[in-house]
Structure 1
């Protein structure tokens, strides 16, 4: 799992990186502008943003990312205790909030909860008979193992992480193909067809005129 950490307190940033790198890949920055660039250029599984940084604030950053259909789960950390910041954080699209000072174990448990809710663990159970291994891009159906292409695996994982909403073809295209390699809608339909063949049509439902939804 890959984490983007925005924290301008040097001492705390070093502590968090040392702690998180025992289990995760961590990219850390002190700058909101740099964090925005990193988020645009790379793919992350979790954002951990401080609210107050020298060149802006994490809330504005997340709001901007959400406007571009970035659904990466986010945890805010802050020294503020005013509830208006809590409200603003969740209105911007945050998934959790932790106040300084905090125990590292508390952060660990909050990350574990995010992983559970968004399907960020390596092995995901899709139903009683199907498990999905995101690390090796494979499905285990009963005793049968099926290898997926990277695009099929990425799309299935994206569906699962966003299973509470409808995903359009345009959103899939924007997330998994670069601008200079943008394919036609047929590429999406082919991936959907292949995934349905493996896991069943009932798991990826076509919402007419809108897109697809994982159930």
Structure 2
């Protein structure tokens, strides 16, 4: 199930959103920017939904900080502002979508589903060359074989795919795929990559010496 972190300080709106979204998604809610930052460090989410203004800060600053730590989780901003300067600031901060209050719940749902499609967040993700990954069962289907991946292999392959055509460093992998108290060694990461290259082919996961790996 898609995991969403919701930052919204309006109690009435947050209750409405939680009642609606929790029918379809796994939603964690907070009123605080600082708590949202802590939650993002401790957990992995598929989508952020941030209000721009909250009592202890603002969603724009939060997202800029997250992006500075290689966190590229898709983000939708919700706001009462109708001035286009906030729209500009939101996208400059790294936002992927923007919705103004008041809005219909169905509109938010459509935007979420569009994010899922664009970022490969559906249960079965096509990887190209007739390959697909089931993110729930961790089964990788290729034209000739079925591979049963470990959860971490599946998570790493999906991360590389979502950021395809960009070099992903080991530091970025560590910050986004492991908790601080469970960090693997460089050798362990190389072993994971080596196994994934066996499954999908070396031509799809390119080793950029001294920099990292790129999915093509």
TM-score of the superposition, structure 1-length normalised? 0.95
Partner in structure 1 of residue 149 of structure 2? 148
Q: Which runs of 5+ in 1 are unaligned?
A: none
If asked which structure has higher relative contact order (CA below 8 Å, sep 6+), I would say: 2
Name the counterpart of 1:121. 122
CA distance in 2, matches of 1:177, 1:53: 29
From the superposition, tell whether residues 164 and 51 of structure 1 become closer, same or farther in structure 2 (CA, over 3 Å): farther
Aligned mates of 2:183, 2:49 — CA distance in 1: 30
Alignment correspondent of 2:35: 34
Name the structure 1 match of 2:22.
21
Cα displacement (A) at 1:136: 1.1
Aligned residue for 2:99?
A: 98
The number of residue pairs the alignment matches comes to 215
- Map Cα deviations across residues 140-190 of structure 1 (whole Å, 9 max, x no partner): 123632110121111001111212421001211233333344332221111
4+ residue segments displaced more than 4 Å: none
Distance in 1 between the 2:72 and 2:173 partners? 12
| Per-residue deviation, 1:15 | 1.1
1:89 maps to 90
Distance 1:164 1:30, change over 3 A: farther
C-alpha change, 1:52 and 1:178, in structure 2 (3 Å) is: closer
* Structure 2: 5+ residue stretches without partners: none
Q: Kindly tell me: are residues 180 and 52 of structure 1, through their superposed partners in 2, closer, same or farther at Cα, counting changes over 3 Å?
A: closer
Seen in structure 2, the aligned counterparts of structure 1 residues 143 and 29 have a Cα distance that, compared at 3 Å, is same
| 1:6 counterpart residue number | 7
Q: Distance in 2 between matches of 1:124 and 1:80?
A: 35
SS at match of 1:126: strand
Give me the whole-angstrom Cα distance separating, in 1, the residues matched to 2:78 and 2:190. Answer: 40
- RMSD after superposition: 1.4
Distance 1:49 1:118 in 2: 18
TM-score when normalising by structure 2: 0.94
Q: Corresponding residue for 1:72? A: 73
Deviation per CA, 1:32-91: give whole Å up to 9, x if none. Answer: 111111111111110000001111111011111111111111000001011111111111
1:47 corresponds to: 48
User: Which residue in the other structure is 1:210 paired with?
Assistant: 211
